[in-house]
Structure 1
Amino acid sequence: MTVSFLLVCISCKRREEVPGSAIVDWHYKAAGSDEFIHVSRIFQYEYNNPIILHENFEGRLEWKGTMGTKDVQIGSVFIHNVTYNDTGTYLCTFHRTLYLPLNEEHVVISKEVELTVVENANPELTAVISEIMMYVLIAVLQLWMIGVLIYCYRKIYAENEARETRKTARSQSK
């Protein structure tokens, strides 16, 4: 069974009206290692040109970030055919250039993503509780909606009865 994993990296600008461009680099540090593979990055994306830069990741990395614009906001990549050797820390670095009216501003933003590969994934307690709460909330909301419908139909029925009573009283008084 082949497993893929999405390494998510997002870096949004604070002001959308400022034009810019970005290059996204991904580095990898194996579990237990002290350094990222710096001599050669594992991946780089620069405006519609994704490049896998390390032979261990050749044919296994797929760009899932912003496409069609030089101003990349999402720098995520898929790792296909994940193995135990992929366990480690991944560093995503945005090299952003903002084109301001008077000059260019260069900004570097880095984010780390930890990946631990295990034989069988155990659902976290939060995920289990979230799933249970989702079903409880669905049931409670359905009961609430039924209650609201009954209340509305009773109000409509009472209004129709009152209208019929008024009509009857008017016709008898004539």
Structure 2
Amino acid sequence: MVKLHDLEFEPYISEEEIMQVIDQISETLNKDFGNKNPVFLGVLNGSFMFASEIIKRFNSDCEISFVKMGSYEGTETTGNVKTLLGLNQDLKGRQVILLEDIVDTGNTLVEIDQILKQAEVEDYKVVTLFFKPDAYKKDIPVQYKGMDIPNEFIVGFGLDYDGLGRNLTQVYKRK
């Protein structure tokens, strides 16, 4: 058990399982983008651990950048996505690999889709470690999914509850 603020969480996905999924995603990304010098675009804060692991396993030239988005208060999404830190490099005509820790409602993807269209990227693909099919209600394709999970609140491996839990190496679900 882990207690963060006022809530208890129980073990859900082990670090070993997470690393196996990351190895599988990385193998596919190396095949699909190995000679294209893509820009990996991590969505902060949650994707920092996932992004680090993916990029360490990418065997060709690449660049990395980050955007910071926010939509959660406590355990609930506000439905209102804010750009807290925007793009800091020119992505016009580039292949972008968007790295998300989790895709649930898809509201963040809609906001990032607009940002990338304005940036005139050649193309982008969405890669997520965790995907909640029951919560996802948008039309933006998610090409690379690590694990489908139920619509439960999770923490660890970059995901937080009001700022706590991001440093946990495995994933916990709300008890």
Could you tell me the TM-score, scaled by structure 2's length?
0.23
The structure with the greater share of residues assigned to strand is 2
Say which one has the larger Rg.
Answer: 1
The structure with the greater share of residues assigned to helix is 1
Higher RCO (CA-CA < 8 Å; seq separation 6+): 2
